[in-house]
Amino acid sequence: MSRTVSAAARVLRVLKALKGHTVTGLSNTELAQLTGDSPSNITRAMQTLIEEGLAVKLDNGRFAHSVGVLQIAQAHAEHMARLQSRMQEINQRIAAGSMN
């Protein structure tokens, strides 16, 4: 695996490890334990995530997803709700048509 792919995979593993810790965050050590990576590699991964607006360093020194990640999640939820509403509308039209 190339260095670039390896570094990208590390960043993505760290991003996934932050799941469920948006408010309290995780420490560098906790992230290292969760990902099986070294604290120095976690530091580099977090720098990348912070620079890209996908993570923040909290006042307590721990790391968490940024508002940007939460906005992505919210946009997904809204998109799914719109699709679900559209599917219900189509199903109602199908059901109404079958009654004629």
Co-location of 58 and 75 in the same domain: no
Note the Cα 51 to chain centre separation in Å: 15
How many other C-beta atoms are found inside a 10 Å radius of the C-beta of residue 90?
10
Same domain for 75 and 61, yes or no, is no
Residues 45, 56, single domain; the answer is: yes
26 and 73: one domain? Answer: no
Contact 31, 14 (CB under 8 A): yes
Give the residue-averaged pLDDT of 12-39: 95
pTM equals 0.75
Residue type, 26: L
**Burial of 55 per CB tally in 10 Å (0-12, 13-18, 19+):** buried
pLDDT tens for each residue of 41-84:
999 999 999 999 999 999 999 999 999 998 988 999 999 998 99
Please report, for the domain that includes residue 27, its CATH number: 1.10.10.10
| 73 and 56 both lie in a single domain | no
CA 31 to chain centre: 15
Same domain for 75 and 46? no
Give the rounded percent of residues in the chain with a pLDDT score beyond 90: 66
Owning domain of residue 50: 1-65
